[in-house]
Structure 1
Amino acid sequence: MKKLLYLVHRLPFPPNKGDKISSNNMLNYFSQHWRVHLGTFVDDPEDLQYVDRVMEKCEDGCIVELPRWKRLTGSVLGLIRGRALSLSYYDNVELQQWVRASIKQECPDAVLIFSGVMGRFVKGLLPAHVPVVFDAEDVDSEKWRSYAQAKHWPLSWLYQREAEKLLAYEREMAASTHVSIFVSREEAALFKQLAPESADKVQYRTQGVDSAYFDPEHYFENPYQPGQKVLVFTGAMDYRPNIEAVKWFCEHVLQAVLAKEPNFLFCIVGMKPTDEVMQLNKLAGVRVTGGVPDVRPYLHHALAACLPLQLARGIQNKALEAMSMALPILATQDAMLGIIDYPETLSIVANDANAMISAASELLAQPRQMNTAGRACVLEHYNWDTNLRRMEKYLINTKDAQ
C-alpha cells in the first residue's frame, strides 16, 4: 500500500462539527487504501480520550495538544510578525520536526493537507514528483471579510486584516501545491476569481453524509414535550455563524411566530453554547440543549430544520443531515449554497424576517411532512466513498501508476 502523509489542523474525531465530519471520513476512507501517517493537533482537552481510537487507523502519527492560552499568544505574535492570526496559533516545533523526519524516513507517496494552516509544515521539503493536495474546504478568507463587513471598528479593521493576510496565504498554498480542492463548485469558482494564477489547479468535491446513520426508519424517543411544534437548529454553538443565526431568529422571527402558534418551540441543539446562546434559553419558545449524545431524535420529531444562517461558507452538514432524515428545511439562501436543486425537495428559502415568519407559520400549521426527495438527493449525490474516490485520483502520481 502507498504511504499518505495526512496533515489536519484538528484531531479528526469525533465527527461532531463540520470540519471534523470531513476529516474523519477522509481518515476512514484513506486508511483502508493507504498507510496513513497522521500529523494533527488536539485543541479541545475532551478529545484526548479519542487519540488511541484515531491512531488505530494510522501507521504512525504525531498528535500535539494545543493549550487554550495559545489562542491569545498566537494572535499577539501574529500581529507583531505581520501574519494571519490563525496561522500563528498553529506554529509548532514538535510537529514540524516530526514532519521533517517522516518525509526523510518514510518518503510518502502523497500528501493530503486538510486546512491551509497545515501547509507550512511541508513547504520546501518534498520532491517535485510527490503529489500534494490542499483540501481547503472553503475560502476561509472570505468568512473573515464577511465578519469585517458586519462589525464596527476596531473589530472591522482586525477582521479585514485577517481576511487579507489569509487570502495571501491561500494563494501561496494554491500556487505551491499540485491541486486545491474546495467543498463545492461555488467555492471553487470564487477562489478561481481570487487566485486567477492558480485557476487551472483548482478543483471541487462535495460533502457527504452517513445516510445509514441519519435514516428516518430508525426509532427515536421524542425529546420534546407533548404538543410542542418544533423547528430545530443543529450545530456547534461556539461557532460564530451559528451563534449569529440563532440570535437573528430569536430577535426577528420568534415572537411573531409564537403569537400565531403558542406551542411553538425553537430548539437549539449543539455542543458548547456560549453565554450569549445560553441567554436565549430564557426566552419563551426557546430551548438550548447544549451537547447531546445523539442529534437524530431532535431531527426526527421536529417539523422542520430551521437554518437561518446569515453567513455561510461551503456546504452545510446540518442541511444534508436533515435531508437524510427526510426532514423539511426552512433556511436562508446562504445555508443551502452548494446543495444541488433536486426535484420536489421540501426546502423553503426565506432570506428576510417576514418571509421566514410566513414560512415558519405555514410549516407549523400542518402535520410533519416527509422530505423523501431530500433523502433521495442525499443518497444519489452525497455519498462519502464516491466523493473521496474522485478526490483520491489527485493523490496518485500518474507516472508511477503507469
Structure 2
Amino acid sequence: MKIFVILPRVPYPLEKGDKLRAFNQIKYLSHTNEIHLCALNDSKIHPKALESLHPFCKSITLLNLPLNVRLFNLFLSFFNGKPFQVAYFFNNKNYNIIQNLIATVKPDRIYCQLIRVTEYVKSQPIKKTLDYQDVFSVGLKRRIKASSIFIRPALIIEYKRLLKYEAQVFDMFDRKTIISYPDRNLIPHPEREKIVVIPNGVDSDYYFLQECEKEFDLIFTGNMGYLPNINSVEFLVKKILPIVYIKYPKVKLLIAGTNPSKKVLKLKSENVSVTGWVKDMRDCYAKSKIFVAPMLIGTGLQNKLLEAMSMMLPCITSNLANCALGAVNGKDILIGNSPEDYAKLIIFLLDDENKAKSLGKSGHSFIIENYNWEKINERLSQVICS
C-alpha cells in the first residue's frame, strides 16, 4: 500500500517529541508499505537527515517555509480566522506542490501529523488519517495563566481559534489518532471517542540500564526552549531544591537538552548544570540517580519519562504528566504536587538506595509492558490501512 505522509517538520534529529514519533512510525510502516514522505522545513536541515530517512521512504520531498512568507501568513491570520500555527505552516506554493505530488504518487492512504498541516490535504478524496498527537487548545489554555500580560491577548485569540479548528478538522478525516486517553477526552468534538489512542513508545534495547559512576543526584531532560520544560526546571530549581538543600546541601542537578532558553541558562550554579544539546542522552541518564519532571503545564505523553524509566531511573513527576503515562503511583513512579511534596520524595529516594532501585525496576517493567514501539505501531498500521 502507498502511504503519503505529511509532516510539519523533518523528523530528524530526534530531539523533539513529534519528530521521534514520526520517525518511529515511518520506520515501522515501511516494513509492509511504500512510504512517500513530504515534510515542511523552517530551519537548517540536519546533514544526516536524508541519509537517516531514505532506508524507509520510497520518496522524500522537503518543502521550505521562507521567513517572509511565514510572517506574511501570520499577519493575514489576524483577518482570516486561522490559528496562527496553522497559518505559519501554510503557503500556496507548497500547497500546489503537494497536490501535484499526490496526483503523481497516487497514494492509497494519507497520514497527516498534527493539525498544523491539515490545510494541505483536508480536501483530498483519498482515505486520510489525522494524528492530533496532543490537544493544542488545552495546552495553550494552560500556558495563558503563566504568560505575561503583553502576549496574553494573542494567546487567548489563538486558544479560541484552535478550539474551533480542532473540532472542524475532525470531520474532514476518515480516521483520527491521539497520544493518550486524557488527551482524547479533551478534543472539542462530540464523537471524540472514535479517536484511536496511539501512544509514543520507547526503544528499550537502546535505552537500557547502564552501570557507571553517578555524577548527578537529579536529572531533567527535554527541549529546553519549550515553555512547559522551562517552567518545570524553574519550579524545580527555585521552589523544590531550596527545601532539598536543607538536608542535602550538595545535591547536584543536571538539566540536559537542546536549545536552552535564557531563563534556563540563568539557572546554572555550582549545584545546577545545563548542557544544551547532547549527542547521546543515555550518557546523561546513566550518570544520574533520580529523574524529576515536575510538569506544570502542557499536554501529551512525556517521552523523557519513557526514556528515564526504560533506563531504570526512579522517576518523580506530576499528576498532570502521569495522566497520559498511566503509571501506578508508589509502585512504578512517585507523584508530587507542592514543592514540599517533591522535596520529600527526592529526599526519600536519596535516603534509601534500595527503595530507589526497586522503584526504577518496577518503572522499567511498566514501560516494557505498555510502551513497546512494535506493538504500538502495529495498531497504527491497522488504523491507517484498514
Q: Which bracket does the TM-score occupy, shorter chain normalised?
A: over 0.9
Q: Please list the CA deviations of residues 169-212 of structure 1 after superposition, one character each: whole Å capped at 9, or x if unmatched.
A: 11111111012111011111221xx211x335322122200000
Change (3 A) 1:346 1:303: farther
| Equivalent position of 1:400 in the other structure | none
Whole-angstrom CA distance in 2 between matches of 1:70 and 1:326: 46
TM-score after normalising by structure 2: 0.93
Question: CA, structure 1 residues 343+305, in 2 after alignment: closer, same or farther (shift >3 Å)?
Answer: closer
CA distance in 2, matches of 1:392, 1:260: 51
Alignment partner, residue 347 of structure 2: 361
Which residue, out of 373, 380, 386, partners 1:391?
380
What is the aligned length? 383
Indicate the residue corresponding to 1:271 in structure 2.
258
One-letter amino acid matched to 2:195: V
Residues 76 and 131 (structure 1), Cα distance of their counterparts in 2 relative to 1, 3 Å cut: same
Q: 1:55 to 1:79 in 2, by over 3 A?
A: farther
Quote the offset at 1:9 in angstroms: 0.8
Q: Distance in 1 between matches of 2:240 and 2:294?
A: 10
Correspondence for 1:163 among 138, 159, 163: 159
Of 125, 132, 135, 1:136 maps to 132
2:226 is aligned to: 239
Give the secondary structure class of the aligned counterpart of 2:35: strand
Matches within 5 A, 1:85-164: 85-126=84-125, 130-164=126-160
Structure 1 stretches of 4+ with a deviation exceeding 6 A read none
In structure 1, the residue matched to 2:196 is 203
Q: Distance in 2 between matches of 1:277 and 1:67?
A: 29
Q: What is the deviation of 1:66?
A: 3.0
Matched, 1:32 2:31: yes
1:258-297 aligned at under 5 Å gives the runs 258-281=245-268, 283-297=269-283
Could you say which residue in structure 1 is the equivalent of 2:40?
41
Q: TM-score, normalised by structure 1?
A: 0.90
Query: Within 1, Cα distance between the matches of 2:154 and 2:379?
Result: 38
Is this contact kept in 2: 1:74–1:86, CA < 8 A? no
Which residue pairs with 1:377 in the alignment? 366
Other-structure match for 1:212: 205
- Take 1:373 and 1:361, find their aligned partners in 2: how far apart are those partners? 19
Q: What does residue 20 of structure 2 align with?
A: 21
The 10-residue stretch of structure 1 (25-34 or 344-353) with the greater mean CA deviation from structure 2 = 344-353
Q: Distance in 1 between matches of 2:366 and 2:332?
A: 11
Q: Any gaps of 5 or more consecutive residues in structure 1?
A: 398-402
Rounded Cα–Cα distance in structure 2 between residues aligned with 1:351 and 1:387: 30
1:374 Cα offset (Å): 1.0
CA contact (8 A) 1:4 1:112 kept: yes
1:73-92 C-alpha deviation (Å, 9 max, x unpaired) = 44333224332111111113
Q: CA deviation at 1:346?
A: 4.0
SS in 1 for 2:46: helix
Determine if contact 2:123/2:172 at 8 Å carries over to the other structure. Answer: no
**Contact map agreement 2:142 2:298 (CA 8 A) in 1:** no
Unaligned residue ranges in structure 2 (runs of 5+): none
Equivalent position of 1:320 in the other structure = 306
Question: Following TM superposition, by how much is the alpha carbon of 1:284 offset from its aligned partner in structure 2, in angstroms?
Answer: 3.7
CA-based RMSD: 2.0
Larger mean CA deviation between 230-239 and 355-364 belongs to 355-364
